[in-house]
Structure 1
Amino acid sequence: MSVPKTTESWVIQGSNGFDSLKLEKNRPVGEVGDHDCAVQIHAVSLNYRDLIIPKGMYPFPMALPVVPCSDAAGTVIAVGKKVTEFKVGDKVCTLFNQLHQAGPISPRAMQSGLGGAIDGTLRKVAVFPEHGLVKAPSTISPIEASTLTCAPLTAWNALYGLQSKALKPGDFVLTQGTGGVSLAAIQFAAAAGATVIATTSSDEKGKKLKELGAHHVINYRTTPNWGEVARSLTPDGVGVDHIVEVGGAGTLTQSLKAIKLEGTITIIGFLGGVNKEDMPSLLDALNNICTVRGILVGSRQQFEEMNRAIEANGIHPVVDKKIFKFENAVEAYQYQWDQKHFGKVVIQV
C-alpha cells in the first residue's frame, strides 16, 4: 500500500469545548524518513486528558492546532530504509511520550506527548518515528490494542515501575473506581497472584470489578472510611502493599489509612478534586512510613514488558460496548464526558 499525501484528520483548533474539534479532509501526512513508519490507523481510544484539552483545562505544554489523542492501534504500511524493528504489515500501538524509551522520564521526553505537544492519532494515516511505536500483542484485536497506550501502561508502571517494590504474588493491591487505569490494574494484579481490593460507587459496578478479578469490593459511598476497611481485609490488618491512587485530594487521606508500612501509593490522577483543605501533608508519608510517587504513563520498555504479560496471561483490555465511527468522534467525546461508559471508549477508524 502506497502512502497517501493527505489524510482525513480531526484537529483541535481552539479551546472552546468540543466545538473546537474540526474534521479536515486533506491534512498532509508528511514524508516517511529513514527512521519512520507510516501507519494506517484502525482504532483510537479516548482518555480524560483528550476531553479537557479542547476545553482549555489541560495544564501541560500544548501546540494548537493539533491532531488530538495519543492512543491508537494500526498496521505499518511503509517503513524508512533504516528501520529495523518493523516491517510492512506489522500490527503496532503508539507510545504516549514518543521520547520516553526506558528508565525515568526526562524533561525532554515530557515535551513529546502525542495529541498535545505534537500531533496525535485521531487520523486515518500517520507517520511516526520507529521509536514511537511498539508491536501490538498478538492475542487481542486492534480495538483492544488501541486502549493500551495510556491507561494500562500507567497501571503497569504503578505496579512494576518502582523496581525495588515491584508487585509480587501474595501482595495486596487497592484500586479506586472504574476508570481505565484502575480496571487494568485489577487485571494485572490478579494475573500476578495478588489480592485485589477495589473501591467503587455502586454495587452494580462492583459485580463487574469482581468479574475482572477483584477479590474484595468496597462501596465508598456507603463506606466512607474505606481505608480502614481495606486495611482490615489484609492479614493481621497490616495494610495493603500497593495503592493505585486516582482520586487525589479527595481520596489520599483514606489511602494513607489503608497503606502498610513501607507500602507504595502511586498517584496518577486527581478525579476526587484538588481542594488543598482536603490534601494530606507530605509529612504524612513519613508518619505512615510509605512511598508516595507520581507517574506519567510509562516508557517504551515498560510497554513491551506489559504486552508480553498481556499475551502470556490472556488478558483482554476492557472496552465499552459502544464503538464510535470516525466521523462521530465528537459524539464519542461527549459520551465519555457524560460518564456513560464502562471501560475504554474507542473510535473505530
Structure 2
Amino acid sequence: MKAFVVRNPASLESLELREQPEPNEPGLGEIRVRLHASSLNYHDYSVVTGAIPTQDGRIPMSDGAGVVDAVGPDVQDFVPGDRVVSTFFPNWLAGPPPIGDFSTTPGDGIDGYAREWVVCPERYFTHAPAGYTHEEAASLTTAGLTAWRALMVDGPLKPGATVLTLGTGGVSIFAVQLAKMMGARVISTSSSDAKLARLSELGADEVINYRREPEWGKRVMEMTNGRGADHIIEVGGPGTLPQSIQAVAIGGHIALIGVLTGVAGEVPTARLMTRQARLQGLIVGSRTEQQAFVRALEVNGVRPIIDQTFELEAIADAFRHEASGQHFGKIGLSIA
C-alpha cells in the first residue's frame, strides 16, 4: 500500500512516498479501514516541518476517513461497509481529559492516516455523518471537534449569546457554523476583505478587519454596547490573547485553542481578573463528544467548508497552500 512518511530532519521536501506491506486481517476488537481522505491541521504542519519532533519514518496526518473493509471478533460498533472517521485521542473515550500530550495521537505519537489502509481497535473511529463525502468527514476529527467542544461542551453556548471567532482556519469556520446553528450572534475577524465577505455569507453578523483595526478588542466592545463577547475562539495565542481579553464579556469564556503567534507571552491578568472571565485551554475532545457532534451535524444539516482538495501524492503542495494562509476553511487530502 502507499504511505507517506516523515524523514528526519523533517521538512516538506523530506516527505517520502513508500510502499508498505498490505494490511493484516483484523484481530479481536479491531477493524480494517480503507482510507479515502484526510485533512490538514496546523498540528500536522508542525509535525511534517519538524516544529514538533517525531520519530523518523512516522506516517503523518491525524485525520482519516474511509470505509470499514473487515471486522474482527467482538467488534460492537461497526460492520463492513460503514463509513467512518478517526478520533484524535483513540484512548479518550469519555469524561474529563486523561491526557495532556500527543503521545497517542495519530500522525504524531503513533502512525497516522497518510496511507491507504489501517487496522486498529474500533475505538480509533466513529461513524461518519450520513451523506458526507470522505473529505468532509475527515475535517471533523481535529478542527470540527475542537470547535464543538469549545462551544457546546466547555461553553456551553446558549441561543442569543455572542461568539467571537478569529481568522478563517478550520476551527474558526466550524465555530461560525455551529454558533449560527445554535442561534448565536457571531463577530468574526480576518485581515482579508474578501474573506470577511465570505464570513458574512456564511452567517457572521459583524466582521472586523484586524489589519485596519488592530485594537479589535475595543471594536468588539463597541459592537456589543460595552458588553463584550460571551465566547471567544482564541486560535492565535500570545499575539492575540490580550485583545481577546479586552473583548470578553464579564463572566465570559475564552477557549484557548491555538498557538499560531507563539507559545508564550504576556497576559493582562488584571483585565482577565476584573472581567471574571474563564480562560480555558483545550485540545480536541473525546470519542463520546465526537459521536454527539456527528449526531448534531446529521440533525442540523451543517456541512464543512472545504477550501481545496489535493491528491495524497501532492501532500507537500497541500501543506504549502496551508502555509500561504490563503485558504478559507479546511484543506483536504484525497486518498484514491
Fold similarity call, TM over 0.5: yes
Distance 1:275 1:122 in 2: 31
For each residue in 1:168-215, what CA deviation from the matched residue of structure 2 results, as whole angstroms up to 9, or x when unmatched? 100100000001000000000001000000011021110111111111
Matched, 1:154 2:141: no
The equivalent residue for 2:334 is 348
Matched, 1:174 2:160: no
Matched, 1:228 2:218: yes
**Counterpart residue identity of residue 70, structure 1:** S
Distance 1:301 1:42 in 2: 23
Distance 1:340 1:171 in 2: 30
- Counting only pairs closer than 5 Å after superposition, residues 174-253 of structure 1 correspond to structure 2 as 174-234=164-224, 236-253=225-242
Contact in 2 for aligned 1:15/1:54 (Cα 8 Å):
no
The equivalent residue for 1:32 is 26
Identity of aligned residues (%): 40
Matched, 1:288 2:275: yes
Q: How far apart are 1:275 and its partner, in Å?
A: 5.6
Contact in 2 for aligned 1:200/1:219 (Cα 8 Å):
yes
The equivalent residue for 1:139 is 131
The equivalent residue for 2:258 is 269
Number of aligned residues:
335
TM-score, with length taken from structure 2: 0.95
1:111–1:36 CA distance, 2 compared to 1 (3 A): same
Structure 2 counterpart SS, 1:14:
coil
1:27–1:116 CA distance, 2 compared to 1 (3 A): farther
**Aligned-pair Cα RMSD in Å:** 1.6
Distance 1:135 1:201 in 2: 36
Distance 1:153 1:287 in 2: 31
Distance 1:302 1:247 in 2: 24
Matched, 1:70 2:57: no
**Counterpart residue identity of residue 169, structure 1:** P
Gaps of 5+ in 1: 1-6
For each residue in 1:38-71, what CA deviation from the matched residue of structure 2 results, as whole angstroms up to 9, or x when unmatched? 0001111111111121222117xx4432111011
Q: How far apart are 1:287 and its partner, in Å?
A: 2.6
1:209–1:304 CA distance, 2 compared to 1 (3 A): same
TM-score, with length taken from structure 1: 0.92
Contact in 1 for aligned 2:168/2:327 (Cα 8 Å):
no
